[in-house]
Each structure stands twice: as structure tokens, then as C-alpha cells.
Chain A
Amino acid sequence: LAKTTQPISMDSYEGQEVNITCSHNNIATNDYITWYQQFPSQGPRFIIQGYKTKVTNEVASLFIPADRKSSTLSLPRVSLSDTAVYYCLVGDIVNYGQNFVFGPGTRLSVLP
């Protein structure tokens, strides 16, 4: 089970791009990288998932270097509504039931 390390908190201003980096030095060959977003008193929701290089969707981009020992979630032009906790998960798709373990996440505060 690959352990992940993220910054505990980050501050940003509206309209800025925010990059949150997650370290996962012992990531295994079959592991995928997944990011979730959680608003207060709500369950987390899926943002983006990737295996290598770059993945982009309507919400965010995920950058994964060749060695896959880290990944960066990029949120373009954040707004106040992006204030939330962001979790990075790394796990094996086949054995995912055992690997959906959340760390403390990164608390992002977007300021006006």
C-alpha cells in the first residue's frame, strides 16, 4: 500500500492557479493515482485519476512525472467555491477495496 504525503494546508486567491503536490515514493507498478475533493459536512467526490503523464478534465489537470513518485493536481483559476480538502490516493485497481485509504488531505483556502 503506497503511502502518500501532501501539504496540510494551502492558501490562494481567486483567479489564481493552484497546484497541490502529492508524494508517493513507493508507488507500485499497478497503482493508479486518484484525487478527491471534500466540502465541509459532505462526502468526498472524485476529481481526477491517472496513471502516467498528464490527464485533463473539465475540473482539473493531473501531472505525473515519468518516475511516478509524485503527482500534481492543478486547479485553474480557482474561485471561493474551490475551498475544500483535497485527497490524494494511490492504489492498485485490482485490489482497490483494500486501498481506498484516505490521509489527512490538503486543506485549500481560496481568499477573495
Chain B
Amino acid sequence: NAGVTQTPKFRVLKTGQSMTLLCAQDMNHEYMYWYRQDPGMGLRLIHYSVGEGTTAKGEVPDGYNVSRLKKQNFLLGLESAAPSQTSLYFCASSYSLRDPTNEKLFFGSGTQLSVL
């Protein structure tokens, strides 16, 4: 049971390049999330998904797209990377059950992205 796995762990892009971050979870969670974290700040929600085939915008969605074609995977895409997207990206997942004891986030280990 690996939990939440993010790939790659590090990436350097040039301005204007595109890339996709992959998040995979093996806990059969319904909800999945992408966050970004900048130095000295908390996590900001980019996009999230409440189930296979669904996505929704979070706090800071501009410049990003997501897809949830399979329940276990949540992809974050940058179509044209900008230096402002240099950040530490975290993926997370959670149950959707109406059981408060299970409503907690499980995070991946993060992807450090630098856009030059």
C-alpha cells in the first residue's frame, strides 16, 4: 500500500513549455486534490475532483488544467509554464464517505517545479 504517489519529484522547465504532473492513489479514495505551496505560505488549492470524470476549480486555478479519467489518477497540466508557477506541488486524496472519522487528507511527497 503506497498511499499517494507523485511523479516526478523534481522538474525544471523553460517558460512556455508544457508538462503534466501525475498523482496516483491506491486507497480507493473518491476525492483528489492538487495544491501548491510557496515559501512561507500555506497550501493553496488549485483544482480538485470529487470522483472519476469530475473536476472543479479551487483558489488558484488559472494556468492549470486537470483530468480524472481513472479513479486512482489525478493529472495536473501546465500548458504554457510561467516563472510564477515555480512552486512545490502536492497532491492529496480523501474519502467521500459521510463518516467524519474518515474525512482526512492523505498527501503525496510533493513535486518541486522550477520554471526558468
Q: Chain A interface (Cβ within 8 Å of chain B)?
A: 32, 34, 36, 41-46, 49, 51, 85, 87, 93-94, 96-98, 100-105
Q: How far is the CB of A65 from chain B (nearest CB, A)?
A: 19
Q: Assess whether B105 is in contact with A44, with CB atoms less than 8 Å apart.
A: yes
Q: Which residues of B contact A100 (CB under 8 A)?
A: 33, 45, 48, 92, 94, 105
In the complex, are the beta carbons of A87 and B42 less than 8 A apart? yes
By Cβ-Cβ distance, the 3 closest A-B pairs, closest first, are A43-B107, A102-B43, A102-B42
In the complex, B74 has a CB within 8 A of chain A = no
- A49: chain B residues at CB < 8 Å are 100-101, 103-104
Number of contacts between A and B (CB, 8 Å)?
A: 70
Q: A46-B106, A93-B100, A104-B41 are in contact. List 9 more A-B contacts (CB 8 A).
A: A34-B103, A43-B4, A43-B90, A45-B107, A85-B42, A100-B33, A102-B35, A102-B44, A102-B45
Given A43-B90, A100-B48, are A93 and B103 neighbors across the interface (CB < 8 Å)?
yes
Chain A CB within 8 A of B56 CB:
yes
- Can you list 6 A-B contacts with CB-CB less than 8 angstroms, sorted by A residue number? A32-B100, A42-B109, A44-B107, A87-B43, A93-B98, A97-B49
The contact of B31 among A36, A97, A104, by CB within 8 Å, is A97
With A51-B100, A87-B42 in contact, is A101–B59 under 8 Å at CB?
yes
Quick one: given A100-B48, A102-B35, are A44 and B43 in contact (CB under 8 Å)?
yes
How many of chain B's residues have a CB under 8 angstroms from any CB in A? 32
Report the Cα distance A87→B88, complex, angstroms.
Answer: 17
Chain B, residues 29-54, CB within 8 Å of chain A (1/0): the string is 00101010000111111001110000
Contact assessment for B50 and A34 in the assembled complex, using a CB-CB cutoff below 8 Å: no
Complex alpha-carbon distance, A95 and B32, angstroms: 13
Given the complex, which residues of B lie within 8 Å of A104, measured CB to CB?
40-42
| Cross-chain contact of B98 among A36, A94, A103, A105 (Cβ < 8 A) | A94
- With the chains together, A101 CA to B50 CA distance in Å? 15
Instruction: State A32–B108 Cα separation when bound (angstroms).
Output: 23
- Residues facing A in B93-116 (CB within 8 A) are 94, 96, 98, 100-101, 103-110
